[in-house]
Amino acid sequence: MDFEFTEEQKKLKESFAKLCEKEIAPRAEYIDKEAVFPRESIALLGTSGFLGMGFPEEYGGNSGDPITKAMLGEELAKACAATYLSAGASAGLFAVPVWKFGTEAQKKKYLPDILAGKKIGALAITEPHAGSDVLGIKTSARRQGTAWVINGSKTFITNGPVADSYVVVAYTEKEKKRDGITLFLVDNGTKGFSRGKPLEKLGVRGSPTSELFFDDCVVPEGSVLGSVNNGFYELAQTLTHGRIGMAVYSLGIAQACLEESINYAQDRTAFGRKISYFQDIHFKIADMKMYIDVGRELIYKAAWMLSQDDPQSILFASIAKLFMSEHATKIASDAVQIFGGYGFMKGYKVERLYRDAKLGEIGEGTSEIQRAIITKLVEDQY
């Protein structure tokens, strides 16, 4: 086992980190304050090749191994968690199922523009009364000749207000439960489809979130993504990718907290000394570093396993997400603590990081759901 990165990986990380620092990070405070969607940043991530990493070249992708993608993702999340989240919902949660389960025509229609950052995608699972409990959704689709008619509503959908296209999860045969769910591709502008205003949020305010409404929304047969009644299983695969993506989100936030904390502690004085002198500060910084490094290794392992189609990748994606998200929340809290009163003030980066960190424990399955998945998979092994 070789833990060393190649020269190519190191150079790529360095140049992508510079791009994030120069182009993405300076806008982070503004898009958070004004709740503005960072469309130009998504386009830039498309032209830089980041969005297309790991996707086939024929659909606008480029070679890129999952570990390198995680390395670069950390830099993006560190620079701006909201930009990372929206980019991931589009080129991950939307593009991955299209790539994995789509027909040739669907891949050609959707992937090039999404991976170029010219268009935006979203994945719509959650409903007002059902998030963790996917089988509790009410949205349904019934056949009408060769078409499908979708009825229902979704909520908390990342990129909801701005996306061009959506992967929508609906029951096609509710009585069959997990064997009665189908994924549909719905384009914005389709009759019977509408979307709500951006919801006001605690964090990642630059990443717009909204409700979606389907009122006798008619989509053609070619809108079925994957196989009819196989959507639950297609979704499970998509969410394994998504959980690793969410773990990287938390990793980037945690790393930003560590760097902010070290710099501030070396600058701020109290009782005639730099606060970096105090042992309480050492302990916080040491714990941050330890949890970040362990979390990063877990993420790389999960990403690598997924690229090898290892069935254990489901387990490791949950472990990595659970570990990194819970520690990122604690790390962000400690970073605010190190900043004292300033950490509570708008305009200080750690204040935003603290708000953004919490989503890591909720999105792509809550911590409780990750623990349930881990227990189920581990129990099955023994």
Ligand X SMILES: Cc1cc2nc3c(=O)[nH]c(=O)nc-3n(C[C@H](O)[C@H](O)[C@H](O)COP(=O)(O)OP(=O)(O)OC[C@H]3O[C@@H](n4cnc5c(N)ncnc54)[C@H](O)[C@@H]3O)c2cc1C
List the catalytic residues.
364
Q: Is 365 in the site for ligand X (CB under 6 A)?
A: yes
Query: What is the smallest separation between the CB atom of 253 and ligand X, expressed in angstroms?
Result: 14
Q: According to CB under 6 A, which one of 46, 116, 363, 373 is a site residue for ligand X? A: 363
Residue 295 near residue 357 (C-beta atoms within 8 A): no
Cβ nearer to ligand X, comparing 4 with 200: 200
d(CA 131, CA 50): 29
Q: Is 166 in the site for ligand X (CB under 6 A)?
A: no
Query: What is the smallest separation between the CB atom of 144 and ligand X, expressed in angstroms?
Result: 25
x-marked contacts with ligand X along 91-120 as a string, rule CB under 6 A? ------------------------------
Q: What Cα–Cα distance (Å) separates residue 103 from each residue in 81, 223, 309, 352?
A: 32, 10, 21, 41
Query: What is the smallest separation between the CB atom of 256 and ligand X, expressed in angstroms?
Result: 18
Q: Is 231 in the site for ligand X (CB under 6 A)?
A: no
Q: Is 62 in the site for ligand X (CB under 6 A)?
A: no
**CA gyration radius, the chain:** 21
Q: Which residue has the tokens 């995680």?
A: 70
Q: According to CB under 6 A, which one of 6, 15, 132, 308 is a site residue for ligand X? A: 132
Token output for 362: 């909720």
d(CA 243, CA 325): 10
For the chain, helix, strand, coil in percent to 5 are: 60, 15, 25
Cβ nearer to ligand X, comparing 330 with 355: 355
d(CA 211, CA 82): 18
Query: What is the smallest separation between the CB atom of 122 and ligand X, expressed in angstroms?
Result: 6
SS3 221: helix
Cβ nearer to ligand X, comparing 111 with 157: 157
| Residues between 175 and 204 with contacts to ligand X, criterion CB under 6 A | 201, 204
d(CA 280, CA 282): 5
Q: According to CB under 6 A, which one of 157, 217, 219, 350 is a site residue for ligand X? A: 157
Residue 195's H or E segment, with its range, is: strand 193-195
Q: Is 368 in the site for ligand X (CB under 6 A)?
A: yes
SS3 182: strand
Q: Is 123 in the site for ligand X (CB under 6 A)?
A: yes
Cβ nearer to ligand X, comparing 36 with 262: 36
Residues whose CB falls within 8 Å of the CB of residue 26, separated by 6 or more in sequence, listed in order: none
**Shortest CA distance to 91 belongs to which of 125, 41, 140?**
41
Q: Which residue has the tokens 């919801």?
A: 199
| Residues between 63 and 92 with contacts to ligand X, criterion CB under 6 A | 89
Which listed range, 141-149, 153-161, 176-184, 243-251, lies at the site for ligand X (CB under 6 A)? Answer: 153-161
Residue 314 near residue 244 (C-beta atoms within 8 A): no
Q: Which residue is nearest to ligand X (CB)?
A: 131
Query: Considering Cα of 374, then 375, then 376, then 378, what sign does the dihedral take?
Result: positive
Query: Considering Cα of 262, then 266, then 268, then 273, what sign does the dihedral take?
Result: positive
Q: Is 158 in the site for ligand X (CB under 6 A)?
A: yes
Tell me the number of residues near ligand X by CB under 6 A.
Answer: 23
Query: What is the smallest separation between the CB atom of 289 and ligand X, expressed in angstroms?
Result: 28
Query: What is the smallest separation between the CB atom of 285 and ligand X, expressed in angstroms?
Result: 29
Query: What is the smallest separation between the CB atom of 136 and ligand X, expressed in angstroms?
Result: 8
Q: According to CB under 6 A, which one of 36, 218, 228, 362 is a site residue for ligand X? A: 362
Residue 370 near residue 322 (C-beta atoms within 8 A): yes
Cβ nearer to ligand X, comparing 122 with 338: 122
Q: According to CB under 6 A, which one of 131, 226, 245, 343 is a site residue for ligand X? A: 131
Per the document, the length of the chain is 382
Query: What is the smallest separation between the CB atom of 207 and ligand X, expressed in angstroms?
Result: 7
Q: How far apart are the first and last CA of the chain?
A: 27
Q: Which residues bind ligand X (CB under 6 A)?
A: 89, 122-126, 131-133, 156-158, 201, 204, 209, 359, 362-363, 365-366, 368-369, 372
